[in-house]
Amino acid sequence: MKVLVAVKRVLDYNVKARVKADKSGIELANVKMSMNPFDEIAIEEALRIKEAGKAEEVIAVSIGPSQSQETIRTALAMGADRGILIETDDEVQPLAVAKLLKHVAEKEEPGLLIVGKQAIDDDANQTGQMYSAITGWPQATFASKVEFEGDGLKVTREVDSGLESIQVAMPAVITTDLRLNEPRYAKLPNIMKAKKKPLEVIALADTGVSIETGLKTVEVNEPEEREAGIIVKSVDELVDRLRNEAKVI
Amino acid sequence: MSTLILAEHEDGALRPATLNVVSAASQIGGEVTLLVAGQGVEAVASAAASVAGVAKVLHADDAAYANEIAENLADLVLSQADSHEHILFAATASGKNVMPRVAAMLDVAGISDVTEVRSSDTFVRPIYAGNAIATVQSSDAKKVVSVRTTSFEAAAESGGSAAVESIATTAASDKVSFIGQELSQSDRPELTSAKIVVSGGRGMQDGSNFKMLDDIAEKLNAAVGASRAAVDAGFVPNEYQVGQTGKVVAPDLYIAVGISGAIQHLAGMKDSKVIAAINKDEEAPIFQVADYGLVEDLFDALPELNKALDG
């Protein structure tokens, strides 16, 4: 079985997003970019499945500008076997990503697609569910545990009031939540080795998939700043102010 | 123009989140229809019918909808999509699970986590953990939207008198089945709808120390939350997590204890009306958003606070 994993190049987790002066978006020139943290968890899970003997090959797919090759190389350094980049400089929304992943899956025929539950840039939380809807593969979202059971998978999911488990047939799509695993760091020899692993670059136009969308961003603004309040001297003063000034307790 | 909302419910009652979505729908304008799907949910359907602002309730009763399986709920929503321009969901774990499926099956963009309705086609939503606010406009024939519940007032549970109509059910998926659930046992109010939230961070040092927060929460009738750091460290389960990748809360009072205030955490709580923070590090970023900050070791402050609340 092949496992397909989607990885996205995003503004690094530790870098504060700054809105561009013309309000068209976020400043991404000359800032640190990294793999979306949930996608690292997705790669890690795929590698563990392979290491457990349940899969033969892990393929990392990214959709985005040429620099996304670096993100794929990170996945390869972690242990993925090969990479595919669908190259485009245009904005690609979740539905288009789902369609492009479907395009790749039709050729590669994986048994499993693993994606992060959300990307920390657009915070959409849509791609996995959309992929499931357009392919008919069952979805196991917000996964915190994945076990092979019978011909399918038993997946434990994070829901608002705790955990639930579902059984899904394969092929299936999994979206990762934080507690699924702790991703490994790429070791230096593996980073060197990753440079030699195959990475196929496909022009968006060659996929025949349209990424047109009816949703456009009108403008992007800074959030309203919350003003810092006061420092109180004691617990008693805190309780007094919460009671008599803010009147919230 | 009309809006269809997938209602959420548990234990025979509407979830409060659905009331917030009704308010968002009212702002869009047009007739509001609530879709109540489940097994043996007549009582929920009648409760839905009395929510202020609801014109119609669609009631689908079938085992397929008993456990919020996204495939089955999405197919049902789709069967009703023709007569509605807007289809709304709460941005809960369940709503987030279903909404993108419906959008994809209609071949339209999904609009996640809307915090403001500008017009029937223009919405505001946070991106980058709330460090930027995007205004987006949809030219799609149908707008498929999830609503951030803390950004909209709850509609009144009474005052409406909608007609309830039973609708044809759709087939259950044979590729997914529900096995079971492990819900956290808590007598505390639900995190996203509590008036007061007491949250602990890495500074709590150990899961057992959350007992101190539980005791204080008990006295304040508050919910207990946590930062991602505390969840990652295994102090508390994930459903406690407040932040970009957890829950978004906006209570009247948020008390952050031993939480440094990373941007990812602020994303989940900075719309709280009043924020109090207890942290021994006076440089902690949480103090930049707190209305009341107390620079003190939490292991000294919490027992004092517990005692002061008796007074």
Give the per-residue SS3 of B62-107. Answer: CHHHCCCCHHHHHHHHHHCHHHCCEEEEECCHHHHHHHHHHHHHCC
Q: Taking CB atoms and an 8 Å cutoff, what residues of chain A touch B231? A: 178-179
Whether residue B257 contacts residue B213, with contact meaning beta carbons closer than 8 Å, is answered with yes
- What pTM did the predictor assign? 0.95
Q: What is the pLDDT of residues B106-146, one digit of tens each?
A: 999 999 999 999 999 999 999 999 999 999 999 999 999 99
Chain A residue nearest residue B234, CA to CA: A179
Q: Mark the ranges of chain A whose per-residue pLDDT is less than 50.
A: none
Q: What is the mean pLDDT of chain B?
A: 96
Has residue B9 got a pLDDT over 90? yes
Single out the residue of B95, B93, B120, B86 nearest to residue B37, CA to CA.
Answer: B95
In B22-61, the residues whose Cβ lies within 8 Å of chain A are none
Contact A232 B263 (CB under 8 A): no
Radius of gyration of chain B (CA): 21
Contact B293 A95 (CB under 8 A): no
The predicted pLDDT at position B238 comes to 92
Whether residue A67 contacts residue A91, with contact meaning beta carbons closer than 8 Å, is answered with no
Percent of chain A residues past pLDDT 70, beyond the cut: 100
Min Cα separation B26/chain A (Å)? 22
Has residue B188 got a pLDDT over 90? no
B310 vs B225, more confident: B225
Chain A residue nearest residue B10, CA to CA: A161
User: Using CA atoms, how far apart are residues A228 and A207, in angstroms rounded to an integer?
Assistant: 51
Chain A residue nearest residue B292, CA to CA: A230
Q: What is the pLDDT of residues B47-90, one digit of tens each?
A: 999 999 999 999 999 999 999 999 999 999 999 999 999 999 99
Min Cα separation B126/chain A (Å)? 8
The predicted pLDDT at position A226 comes to 86
Burial code (b: 16+ CB inside 10 Å, e: under 16) for B283-300 equals ebbbbbbbbbbbbbebee
User: Using CA atoms, how far apart are residues B306 and A247, in angstroms rounded to an integer?
Assistant: 18
Q: What is the pLDDT of residues B195-227, one digit of tens each?
A: 999 999 999 999 999 999 999 999 999 999 999
The predicted pLDDT at position B186 comes to 77
Q: Which two tokens stand for residue B197?
A: 């939230």
CB of B311 less than 8 A from some CB of A: yes
Q: What is the pLDDT of residues A193-239, one digit of tens each?
A: 999 999 999 999 999 999 999 999 999 999 998 888 999 999 999 99
Q: Domains of chain A (ranges plus CATH)? A: 2-244 (3.40.50.620)
Give the 3-state secondary structure of residue A2. strand
Radius of gyration of chain A (CA): 21
Using 50, 70 and 90 to split pLDDT, how confident is the model at B187? confident
Q: Taking CB atoms and an 8 Å cutoff, what residues of chain A touch B74? A: 133
User: Using CA atoms, how far apart are residues A159 and A172, in angstroms rounded to an integer?
Assistant: 19
Q: Which two tokens stand for residue B142?
A: 């149908």
Give the 3-state secondary structure of residue A191. helix
Amino acid (1-letter code) at residue A151: D
- Give the C-alpha distances (Å, rounded to integers) separating B102 from A22, A99, A128, A173, B111: 34, 15, 13, 16, 11
**Residues 6 or more apart from B186 whose CB is under 8 A from it?**
B224
Has residue B185 got a pLDDT over 80? no
Chain B residue nearest residue A125, CA to CA: B96
CB of B153 less than 8 A from some CB of A: no
